Amino acid sequence: MNQGIAIYPGSFDPPTYGHLDLMERGAKIFEELIVAILRNSEKTPMFSVAERLEMLKALTGHLKNVRIDTFDGLMVEYAKSMEAVCILRGIRAISDYEYELQMALMNRKLEPTLETVFMMPADKYSYVSSRLVREVAQAGGPVKGLVPEMVEQKLREKLEPAYRFHDQMHEVPPLLSGGKEKKRKKKS
Protein backbone atom coordinates (compact mmCIF):
# COMPACT_ATOMS: atom_id res chain seq x y z
CA MET A 1 0.00 0.00 0.00
CA ASN A 2 1.26 3.49 -0.75
CA GLN A 3 0.06 5.91 1.91
CA GLY A 4 3.11 8.15 2.24
CA ILE A 5 5.23 8.70 5.31
CA ALA A 6 3.81 8.54 8.84
CA ILE A 7 5.38 9.55 12.14
CA TYR A 8 4.81 7.46 15.24
CA PRO A 9 5.95 9.82 18.02
CA GLY A 10 6.34 8.98 21.68
CA SER A 11 8.55 8.59 24.72
CA PHE A 12 9.00 4.80 24.43
CA ASP A 13 10.45 4.68 27.95
CA PRO A 14 10.73 1.73 27.64
CA PRO A 15 9.33 0.27 24.38
CA THR A 16 6.60 -2.30 25.12
CA TYR A 17 4.97 -5.09 23.14
CA GLY A 18 2.05 -2.68 22.65
CA HIS A 19 4.34 -0.20 20.86
CA LEU A 20 5.80 -2.98 18.70
CA ASP A 21 2.35 -4.25 17.83
CA LEU A 22 1.37 -0.78 16.66
CA MET A 23 4.57 -0.40 14.63
CA GLU A 24 3.87 -3.68 12.86
CA ARG A 25 0.33 -2.56 12.04
CA GLY A 26 1.53 0.89 10.92
CA ALA A 27 4.27 -0.60 8.76
CA LYS A 28 1.59 -2.50 6.82
CA ILE A 29 -0.37 0.58 5.81
CA PHE A 30 2.24 3.30 5.37
CA GLU A 31 4.98 3.51 2.80
CA GLU A 32 7.40 4.45 5.56
CA LEU A 33 6.90 4.67 9.31
CA ILE A 34 9.24 6.89 11.30
CA VAL A 35 9.25 6.06 14.99
CA ALA A 36 10.26 9.36 16.59
CA ILE A 37 11.50 9.55 20.18
CA LEU A 38 10.93 12.87 21.92
CA ARG A 39 14.33 14.13 23.09
CA ASN A 40 13.55 16.86 25.59
CA SER A 41 10.59 15.68 27.59
CA GLU A 42 9.70 17.36 30.90
CA LYS A 43 9.73 13.92 32.46
CA THR A 44 13.00 12.43 33.71
CA PRO A 45 13.32 9.24 31.68
CA MET A 46 14.41 5.86 32.95
CA PHE A 47 16.30 5.16 29.71
CA SER A 48 18.41 7.73 27.89
CA VAL A 49 17.44 8.70 24.35
CA ALA A 50 20.50 6.77 23.09
CA GLU A 51 19.37 3.62 24.96
CA ARG A 52 15.81 3.86 23.60
CA LEU A 53 17.12 4.50 20.10
CA GLU A 54 19.33 1.42 20.29
CA MET A 55 16.53 -0.78 21.67
CA LEU A 56 14.00 0.37 19.08
CA LYS A 57 16.46 -0.12 16.22
CA ALA A 58 17.13 -3.68 17.32
CA LEU A 59 13.44 -4.44 17.90
CA THR A 60 12.31 -3.20 14.49
CA GLY A 61 15.17 -4.65 12.41
CA HIS A 62 12.67 -7.01 10.73
CA LEU A 63 10.43 -4.13 9.58
CA LYS A 64 12.12 -2.82 6.48
CA ASN A 65 10.02 0.35 6.11
CA VAL A 66 10.38 1.41 9.74
CA ARG A 67 13.01 3.98 10.68
CA ILE A 68 13.91 5.15 14.18
CA ASP A 69 14.71 8.80 14.80
CA THR A 70 14.59 11.43 17.55
CA PHE A 71 13.04 14.86 17.59
CA ASP A 72 12.85 18.01 19.64
CA GLY A 73 10.37 20.87 19.75
CA LEU A 74 7.01 20.72 18.05
CA MET A 75 6.15 17.33 16.66
CA VAL A 76 4.21 18.75 13.71
CA GLU A 77 7.25 20.78 12.64
CA TYR A 78 9.38 17.67 12.78
CA ALA A 79 6.71 15.76 10.82
CA LYS A 80 6.64 18.43 8.10
CA SER A 81 10.43 18.42 7.88
CA MET A 82 10.24 14.67 7.22
CA GLU A 83 7.51 15.23 4.58
CA ALA A 84 5.13 13.08 6.58
CA VAL A 85 1.42 13.11 5.82
CA CYS A 86 0.23 11.36 8.96
CA ILE A 87 0.81 11.03 12.67
CA LEU A 88 0.17 7.58 14.06
CA ARG A 89 -0.96 7.13 17.66
CA GLY A 90 -2.23 4.13 19.56
CA ILE A 91 -5.44 4.03 21.55
CA ARG A 92 -5.80 1.21 24.05
CA ALA A 93 -8.92 2.13 25.96
CA ILE A 94 -11.47 4.91 26.16
CA SER A 95 -9.33 6.50 28.90
CA ASP A 96 -6.64 7.24 26.29
CA TYR A 97 -9.11 8.95 24.02
CA GLU A 98 -9.50 12.27 25.82
CA TYR A 99 -5.77 13.01 25.90
CA GLU A 100 -5.25 11.75 22.37
CA LEU A 101 -8.16 13.78 21.00
CA GLN A 102 -6.85 16.92 22.66
CA MET A 103 -3.38 16.33 21.26
CA ALA A 104 -4.69 15.50 17.77
CA LEU A 105 -6.82 18.65 17.66
CA MET A 106 -3.95 20.83 18.90
CA ASN A 107 -1.68 19.32 16.27
CA ARG A 108 -4.35 19.97 13.64
CA LYS A 109 -4.58 23.59 14.77
CA LEU A 110 -0.80 23.90 14.49
CA GLU A 111 -0.62 22.13 11.14
CA PRO A 112 -3.97 21.53 9.37
CA THR A 113 -2.46 19.46 6.56
CA LEU A 114 -1.32 16.67 8.90
CA GLU A 115 -3.82 13.96 9.78
CA THR A 116 -3.69 11.91 12.97
CA VAL A 117 -4.51 8.24 12.53
CA PHE A 118 -5.41 6.13 15.56
CA MET A 119 -4.84 2.39 15.64
CA MET A 120 -5.64 -0.14 18.34
CA PRO A 121 -2.98 -2.58 19.50
CA ALA A 122 -3.96 -6.22 20.06
CA ASP A 123 -6.38 -6.46 22.99
CA LYS A 124 -3.89 -8.58 24.95
CA TYR A 125 -1.77 -5.42 25.25
CA SER A 126 -4.64 -3.10 26.14
CA TYR A 127 -3.45 -2.66 29.73
CA VAL A 128 0.27 -2.40 28.93
CA SER A 129 1.89 1.00 29.32
CA SER A 130 5.49 2.13 29.73
CA ARG A 131 4.53 3.83 32.99
CA LEU A 132 3.17 0.62 34.53
CA VAL A 133 6.08 -1.43 33.21
CA ARG A 134 8.47 1.01 34.92
CA GLU A 135 6.45 0.82 38.13
CA VAL A 136 6.44 -2.99 38.21
CA ALA A 137 10.13 -3.20 37.29
CA GLN A 138 11.15 -0.58 39.86
CA ALA A 139 9.62 -2.82 42.53
CA GLY A 140 11.53 -5.80 41.12
CA GLY A 141 8.38 -7.42 39.69
CA PRO A 142 8.13 -9.56 36.54
CA VAL A 143 7.58 -7.81 33.21
CA LYS A 144 7.72 -10.93 31.05
CA GLY A 145 5.14 -10.79 28.25
CA LEU A 146 4.78 -7.02 28.56
CA VAL A 147 8.06 -6.00 26.95
CA PRO A 148 10.39 -7.78 24.53
CA GLU A 149 13.11 -9.92 26.15
CA MET A 150 15.78 -7.40 25.26
CA VAL A 151 13.94 -4.66 27.16
CA GLU A 152 13.36 -7.02 30.07
CA GLN A 153 17.10 -7.64 30.20
CA LYS A 154 17.90 -3.89 30.07
CA LEU A 155 15.40 -3.26 32.89
CA ARG A 156 17.07 -5.95 34.97
CA GLU A 157 20.49 -4.43 34.36
CA LYS A 158 19.29 -0.95 35.25
CA LEU A 159 17.30 -2.02 38.29
CA GLU A 160 19.59 -4.78 39.53
CA PRO A 161 19.32 -3.83 43.27
CA ALA A 162 15.49 -3.77 43.13
CA TYR A 163 15.38 -7.19 41.46
CA ARG A 164 17.93 -8.64 43.88
CA PHE A 165 15.91 -7.36 46.85
CA HIS A 166 12.64 -8.70 45.37
CA ASP A 167 14.19 -12.09 44.61
CA GLN A 168 15.62 -12.33 48.14
CA MET A 169 12.29 -11.41 49.72
CA HIS A 170 10.46 -14.08 47.74
CA GLU A 171 13.00 -16.81 48.13
CA VAL A 172 12.13 -19.12 51.05
CA PRO A 173 15.33 -20.03 52.93
CA PRO A 174 15.74 -23.83 53.28
CA LEU A 175 15.78 -23.64 57.09
CA LEU A 176 12.50 -21.71 57.17
CA SER A 177 10.82 -23.93 54.61
CA GLY A 178 11.93 -26.98 56.68
CA GLY A 179 10.30 -25.47 59.76
CA LYS A 180 7.09 -24.77 57.86
CA GLU A 181 7.04 -28.28 56.47
CA LYS A 182 7.26 -29.76 59.98
CA LYS A 183 4.50 -27.54 61.31
CA ARG A 184 2.21 -28.44 58.41
CA LYS A 185 2.88 -32.16 58.89
CA LYS A 186 1.97 -31.98 62.58
CA LYS A 187 -1.40 -30.39 61.78
CA SER A 188 -2.52 -33.03 59.25
Residue positions annotated with a catalytic role: 19, 43, 92, 130
Nearer to ligand PNS, 2 or 40 (CB): 40
CA 67 to chain centre: 16
Residues 107-126 touching ligand PNS, rule: CB under 6 A, are: 107
Q: Are strands 32-38 and 5-10 parallel, antiparallel or unpaired?
A: parallel
DSSP annotation string for 84-102 = --EEEEE--SHHHHHHHHH
Q: State which of residues 6, 7, 9, 34 lies at the interface with ligand PNS (CB under 6 A).
A: 9
Q: In this structure, are residues 129 and 18 in contact, taking their beta carbons and an 8 Å threshold? A: yes
Q: What is the footprint of ligand PNS within residues 21-60 (CB under 6 A)?
A: 38
The rounded distance, in Å, linking the Cα atoms of 50 and 151 is: 14
Can residue 137 be called a binding residue for ligand PNS (CB under 6 A)? no
74 part of the interface to ligand PNS, by CB under 6 A? yes
Residues that bind ligand PNS (CB under 6 A): 9-11, 38, 74-75, 103, 106-107
